[in-house]
Each structure stands twice: as structure tokens, then as C-alpha cells.
Amino acid sequence: MSSGDGFRGVIAPVLTPFGEDGRADAERLVEHAKWLLDEGCTALAPFGTTSEANSLSLDERRSLLEALIDGGIDPARLMPGTGMCSAGDTINLTRHAIEAGCGAVLMLPPFYYKGVSDDGLFAHFASVIDGVGDDRLAVFLYHIPPVAQVGFSLDLIARLREAFPNQVVGLKDSSGEWSNTKSIIEAFPGFCVFSGSEATLLDNLRAGGAGCISATANVNARGLRAVFDAWQSEGADDLQTGATALRLAIQKYPVIPLLKAIISAQRRDDQWAATRAPLWPLDRQVAFEAMDLLEREHGFGIGHRRAA
């Protein structure tokens, strides 16, 4: 999978559980990762936005990645986030992931300084790719301007593709704009483009894209996989409508805390609701109201009342 060709379908940016001591909980993480694959995820992207990755230290990321692999997760199905503001830290995490056998990495741009030029961004990625210096490297660019405020123009993608055709193999578009995702798919045939939300999963596949890397795959992998499996069938639009409606309902609330609250209720495990500051768990009553809505209006069974 060194070319990134093995990544297609429904990928979960894996939530990071925390123990009572506030440390990342490797045992719960491995259990959740295995469950996601059993539920239909085609691959996993730990240490993305949904994973609270930028609240994790480099040591934590390396240790958790090793725990996933030691726990039985095939590293070829892992696309860990390795993008940091520092090129040195990005090289460190990326080299560790590649040496561990990961099929690809998902790489944020350096996001602290705003209004930077394409020249500066190109130089950063060139220094990272050259610094890693490994033919096995497959990079998926992570475009999330609503959060990072630094992104990838078509010109920058073209420059990176031309300079590093064997390394820069795809992109996750979390711009929230389908027109942007479509423009990337159309501009770069064969480039592996994922939508950052399942709301455009069917559109993505029909346009020639690769699928979605979606936060809500953490709780609705089966629903998203159903869309992916049926995208060329007559029932695909109905499945997409249901998946989109659930996504829109979930994102009315703070997404990461609600996803953790749902898993906490499903597994009868209060600790799963924990987040790391600055994120904060949902108020219990708000969480129950949200889960009531998901069950009542979307038929999304959670069982939280039984867990109360």
C-alpha cells in the first residue's frame, strides 16, 4: 500500500479515549479500533481532528500507534495524522509511522502562521518529504481551512503532485464545500480524494473520488459502509439521505463530546465520555437530549436510558 492505492471507502478518524488519570487509554483505543473495522470501516485514521490529536504529545502519538499495531491492527490499514507546525516534528512522527508499516499518513499543513504563501507551504512539505527520505511514504494532504485557516490551493496541489508524484497521493477535503472537493477530483484524475463528511459521500464516489474520512464513522460506520457498498445501485440515494440526516443532527452539537457520549452510553462506560482540555464533556442532560433526538427522529438506537 505504499502508493496509497489501498485506501478507499469509509475511514474513521479514531476517537481517543482517556482514563481516569487523564492519560490516553491504549486499551480502550485498541478495542474501539477493532470494533470500527468490524463495523465496516475500510481503514482507520488515528490522530486527526476527531482524535484530539493536537492535544496529544509526540510521545503519546507514537506510543498509541504502537499499541494499535501490537494490539492486532494491520498497520497497512492505518493512516495516522502526522502533520505538525514544525517540520522536524512532522518528520519525526511520519518516519515513525512509515517504519511501523503504516500504509499512509494524513498530513496537516503548518497552521500556526496565517496568510502564508504557496511557496512557503511547498517548501515545508518538500522539507518533510525529503527529510523522511523513504520510498514507502504515501501522503494524504489534510485540507481543513475552517479549523487550520491554512489550506491547499489547486496550484499548490499541482506543484506537490509534480514534484512528488509517488509520495503525494491523495487529500482529505474538510472544507465543507462540495464544489471544492469536486474541483480537486476533476483537476487531478487518479488522485485519491476523500470527503471530510459523509454528507457528500455519494457525490464523491460518483465523481470519481475515494470515499469519506468522517468523524461520525465512529458511531455510524455501518450506515456509511452501506452507502459505499451500494453507491452504484438504485437504493444508494435513500441510504445517502439517511446518513446525511444523521450527520446533520449530530453536528448541531459539539461533535467530539457527543460522539464520546454516545459511545459511553452504548458501552456502559462512563470514562468514554472524557475529553482532554480545552474540549469539555457534554452536560449529561444535554447529551441525553441529543441522544433522544437521534433515536426519535433518526432511528439511531443508543440505549442511553438503560445505561442511566
Cell (9 digits) for 119 = 511557496
49 labelled catalytic = yes
Residue type at 186 in one-letter notation: E
Please check whether residue 274 is in contact with residue 260, taking contact to mean a CB–CB distance below 8 angstroms. Answer: yes
Q: How do strand 168-173 and strand 192-195 relate by DSSP bridges?
A: parallel
Strand partners, 171: 141, 193
- Which position among 142, 181, 182, 200 bears the catalytic label? 142
Q: Name the active-site residue from 49, 82, 181, 275.
A: 49
The residues facing 78 across adjacent strands are: 44
Residue with cell 512528488: 164
Distance CA 191, CA 4 (A): 10
Which of 42, 82, 90, 172 is catalytic? The answer is 172
HSE, side-chain direction, 13 A CA sphere, residue 308:
12
Outline where the chain has alpha helix (H). Answer: 26-38, 58-70, 87-99, 118-132, 145-148, 154-163, 178-187, 201-207, 217-229, 236-250, 255-267, 284-298, 304-307
DSSP string, 45-101: --SSTTTTGGGS-HHHHHHHHHHHHHTT--GGGB--B---SSHHHHHHHHHHHHHTT
Nearest to 47 by CA among 114, 136, 140, 121: 140
Catalytic residue at 172?
yes
| Closest CA relative to residue 144, chosen from 122, 120, 176 | 176
Residues recognised as catalytic: 49, 112, 142, 172
